[in-house]
Structure 1
Amino acid sequence: MKAGSGLEWCIRARISVDGPVKCLRDPVVYCCNLRPHHRTGTTWKIYPTYDFCAPFLDSLEGVTHALRTDEYRDRNLQYSWIQEALGTHHVDIWDFSRLNFVRTVLSKRKLTLLVDNGVVWDWDDPRMPTIRGIRRRGMTVPALREFILKQGPSQNVIKLDWTSFWATNKKYIDPVAARHTAIPKHNTVIATVNGVDEPSSADKPKHKKNAALGTKKIVLGLELRLHLEGDFKKTEKKVTWLAKETINMIPVNLVDFDYLITKENLEKDDDLSSFLTPKTEFRTEAWADCNVTSLARDDTIQFDRIGYFRVDQEYQDGNPAVFLRIPTGKGD
């Protein structure tokens, strides 16, 4: 086995081949694997199994309590037996149920298929249910911490909706998201107003309720007549506009996403490829106000009447800035 020629061989722990508890029926603890290791290359040809390695390392590293999802519960006796047999430090196990979401696959094997087959960009794709993925989509660390702590280590199998997840995040980003303006190109209408001589500008707060965010420049190429008798709350249609000035029309791409999975609850034996949403990425070309040129990657903003966005790619050398839409838990 050390030479790599005994692929049909394995090393098993001698416990009880006919014991009433299946996990104690002489489990495999070592087997051959000829694939190169990412650190040691081809130095070793024999490796420990997870069930043997986990209790040993947990004990060696001084872990006091191992937090494990309940899918491993039927092997807890084996975990304890290995530590006792090796004479190592005993580790207590706390079981809890896995956190599942609707229309979402969490299996690493199935997620790997999505990456390898080009269904998503990579492991940090905003559609992926990974920490890197949800962070790239705009989830904040405080909101993630709050959501997880509220769930608690439940023993019940639960299937959560993403609504409450993103609603928690909105509480954190709304007070600090500077307000900006963007106009989708495919819906733009050019308006000419008579009586306007030269464009002017004015400084306005980025957030009406948070002066600490500073001010932004509003370019007026447009002059409106005051109509005090009107009531904007009763106006059926409201207009979002930008002055048609080169410095005030910054090209941007607004990117939104749909669920990767079409089925509410994907069963263990379901064929993943049969339940993939045909199109999950939607890009909208737009013009944004001049202030977006000062935004940096990972900044969170709100485009008025469109939604919240995270800067995924800054505006640079005329290349459009890329903004990823952050769900808010309402209608997402």
Structure 2
Amino acid sequence: MSQVDTEVRPSNFIRNIIDEDLETGKHTKVHTRFPPEPNGFLHIGHAKSICLNFGIAQDYQGQCNLRFDDTNPEKEDIDYVHSIQEDVQWLGFQWAGEICYSSNYFDKLHQYAVELINKNLAYVCFLNSEETREYRGTLKVPGKNSPYRDSSVVDNLALFERMRLGEFKEGECALRAKIDMASPFMCMRDPIIYRVRFAHHHQTGDKWCIYPMYDFTHCISDAIENITHSLCTLEFQDNRRLYDWVLDHLDDFQADNRTRQYEFSRLNLEYTLMSKRKLNDLVVNNVVTGWDDARMPTIAGLRRRGYTAASIREFCKRIGVTKQENMIEVAMLDACIREELNEHAPRAMAVINPVKIIIENYPEAKIEEIMAPVHPNIEEMGKRPLAFSREIFIDADDFREEANKKYKRLVQGKEVRLRNAYVIKSERCDKDYEGNITTIYCTYDDETLGKNPSDGRKVKGVIHWVEASTAKNAEFRLFDRLFTDVNPAAADSIEDVLNPNSLVIKQGVVEANLMHAKAEKTYQFEREGYFCADNKDSSCDHLVFNLTVPLRDTFA
């Protein structure tokens, strides 16, 4: 199996290990896996793992399995299975062969548990959960043996069979590995490897009422699938000892080139929760509208907001793979999508806070067509038609009755240029009883169409606009960070750090070309930001645009 050219591939400690394994002949191929639990939607942290596992497999011409570690049926759902498959493919990756499930191996896992019992390395324990915690000890105090630890092999085989047959209640007993209750590593203090659960499983139905624990299942699943490099995050570092112990004591997995576990730092992103449990709480408590809410860090949420697969892959590339825990600035993620969209996103005009302008010296019945570039720097993208008439909308923030010289937009008695159109001059305005401006009356210079007016007059200010009669009403969802604290996971209460302005909804107008805007296709709304049509709520009859990311301080 050939390796990737070291001059073009990124380098990190995992790739260095793989290079050495291939060079020494320990492995002749690379086989990784992405093993999500189907108990929620994937988030940006999972994207890092996806890019790592599938990326390594691609770079080394190997394989990467998609395996669902589905050992906890009470919290799992087939909808999560489907969403995870969709997210992996949307990110640009394809798994090797058929989708794998840990539940495919339940028969073998049961056999391996029986093997451990036969070797006097597992026993059925009847301590309740409180007693189990007490016997387990603490980081400073060693645990003590369960009174059931020395039961005979014959008795344990019989009890485990009764567990399988459903003769014990949930929580009444569990099968534990017999390792070392004095171990400095808590995970090695006779961990539970099977428990009783009377729960319907989305793959195996009601066949089982005992389910294996994750730590017992994961290593065996890796070994069955001939995974060469099992990559996981640092919180599983201590569990590597249990990973190896299980395989060390099963006859089928004694090869020198069997799977090994390697740990890397998980993604910690500013202002973002990375716990599926806590994200699920946001959904259940209606803090957000669902797992795919555009404020959520889920891949589905980012996609709905207009982030592209390429931008997420680039982000994962930039943050790299290390063993060092750190907090990544959310600005890095924003930069990745902004850079891509600035280069590729088509331009359009939208007015989020519209106020009407009447151009009094423009012919009343006339509507002309102005051609504007789809992208200012890519001629191949062509031009788009813009209607122009006597009545247009501009943003209310782009007009002042009085302003200083730093204000480069429309001021009463002064001129401004309309993007791709004419120079106009404000003459007067109407207000409502509360003093809000309702209509601005202007005049225009019919010789100033385009960027190079014939009279050579220089007008510094340029503002965007939308023609009134062809304008399409649109809802704009302006998103901000969901949390006000840089590390919301550390907060005593999530409610205390929720941003009350994480979503602001505005009603405005867009140019007619956006009538059939494709869901998730992102546009640069000139001078406003990058927006995409919502993939659930937007339609021709009700346009809804989500803010993907704002423009920089200087207009792109």
Deviates more, 1:52-61 or 1:206-215: 206-215
Q: Which runs of 5+ in 1 are unaligned?
A: none
Counterpart contact for 1:4–1:45, Cα < 8 Å:
no
Higher Cα radius of gyration: 2
2:192 pairs with 1:192 = no
CA shift in 2, pair 1:136/1:292, >3 Å: same
Cα distance, 1:17 vs. partner? 2.7
The equivalent residue for 2:317 is 149
CA shift in 2, pair 1:316/1:150, >3 Å: closer
The equivalent residue for 1:130 is 298
2:395 pairs with 1:173 = no
The equivalent residue for 1:230 is 457
2:244 pairs with 1:22 = no
In 2, distance between residues paired with 1:131 and 1:256? 19
Cα distance, 1:270 vs. partner? 2.4
In 2, distance between residues paired with 1:269 and 1:9? 36
CA-based RMSD of the aligned residues comes to 2.2
Cα distance, 1:4 vs. partner? 5.7
Cα distance, 1:109 vs. partner? 0.7
Match of 1:263 among 474, 485, 491: 485
| Higher RCO (C-alpha under 8 Å, 6+ residues apart) | 1
2:468 pairs with 1:244 = yes
Aligned counterparts, 1:11-50, within 5 A: 11-50=175-214
Counterpart contact for 1:300–1:309, Cα < 8 Å:
yes
The equivalent residue for 2:528 is 306
The equivalent residue for 1:321 is 543
Cα distance, 1:166 vs. partner? 1.3
**Structure 2 residue matching 1:121: 3-state secondary structure:** coil
Match of 1:91 among 254, 259, 262: 259
**Structure 2 residue matching 1:308: 3-state secondary structure:** strand
Match of 1:57 among 199, 215, 221: 221
**Structure 1 residue matching 2:358: 3-state secondary structure:** coil
> Deviation digits for residues 261-310 of structure 1, max 9, x if unmatched?
22222355722233222342111111111101232112111111111111
CA shift in 2, pair 1:38/1:24, >3 Å: same
Counterpart of 1:215, as a letter, is: K
> Deviation digits for residues 130-186 of structure 1, max 9, x if unmatched?
1222122122122211221222211111111211111111221222211111123x4
Q: Which runs of 5+ in 2 are unaligned?
A: 1-162, 391-421, 423-443, 448-452
Q: TM-score, normalised by structure 1?
A: 0.90
Q: TM-score, normalised by structure 2?
A: 0.55
**Structure 2 residue matching 1:40: 3-state secondary structure:** coil
CA shift in 2, pair 1:105/1:202, >3 Å: same
> Deviation digits for residues 24-65 of structure 1, max 9, x if unmatched?
221110011223222333332110111101101111111111
The equivalent residue for 1:79 is 243
CA shift in 2, pair 1:4/1:46, >3 Å: farther
2:169 pairs with 1:6 = yes
Deviates more, 1:110-119 or 1:11-20: 11-20
2:272 pairs with 1:104 = yes
Counterpart contact for 1:182–1:286, Cα < 8 Å:
yes
Counterpart contact for 2:195–2:212, Cα < 8 Å:
yes
In 2, distance between residues paired with 1:160 and 1:19? 35
**Structure 2 residue matching 1:76: 3-state secondary structure:** helix
Question: Which structure 1 residue ranges, 4+ long, deviate > 4 Å from structure 2?
Answer: 313-317, 328-331
Counterpart contact for 1:293–1:315, Cα < 8 Å:
no
Counterpart of 2:197, as a letter, is: N
In 1, distance between residues paired with 2:212 and 2:517? 49
Counterpart of 1:291, as a letter, is: N
Counterpart contact for 1:64–1:91, Cα < 8 Å:
yes
**Structure 2 residue matching 1:190: 3-state secondary structure:** strand
**Structure 2 residue matching 1:175: 3-state secondary structure:** helix
Counterpart contact for 1:169–1:328, Cα < 8 Å:
no
In 2, distance between residues paired with 1:328 and 1:195? 34
**Structure 2 residue matching 1:129: 3-state secondary structure:** coil
Counterpart contact for 2:519–2:538, Cα < 8 Å:
no
In 1, distance between residues paired with 2:197 and 2:502? 38
CA shift in 2, pair 1:265/1:330, >3 Å: farther
Deviates more, 1:55-64 or 1:35-44: 35-44
Identity %: 30
In 1, distance between residues paired with 2:167 and 2:494? 34
In 1, distance between residues paired with 2:197 and 2:538? 48
**Structure 1 residue matching 2:278: 3-state secondary structure:** helix
Cα distance, 1:128 vs. partner? 1.0
Counterpart contact for 1:206–1:213, Cα < 8 Å:
yes
Counterpart contact for 2:193–2:213, Cα < 8 Å:
yes
In 1, distance between residues paired with 2:325 and 2:185? 24
**Structure 1 residue matching 2:356: 3-state secondary structure:** coil
Cα distance, 1:330 vs. partner? 4.4
The equivalent residue for 2:509 is 287
Counterpart of 1:153, as a letter, is: V
CA shift in 2, pair 1:267/1:102, >3 Å: same
Counterpart contact for 2:178–2:190, Cα < 8 Å:
yes
In 2, distance between residues paired with 1:91 and 1:173? 41
In 2, distance between residues paired with 1:329 and 1:132? 23
Counterpart contact for 1:143–1:168, Cα < 8 Å:
yes
The equivalent residue for 2:119 is none
**Structure 2 residue matching 1:188: 3-state secondary structure:** strand
Paired residues in the alignment total 324
CA shift in 2, pair 1:131/1:23, >3 Å: same
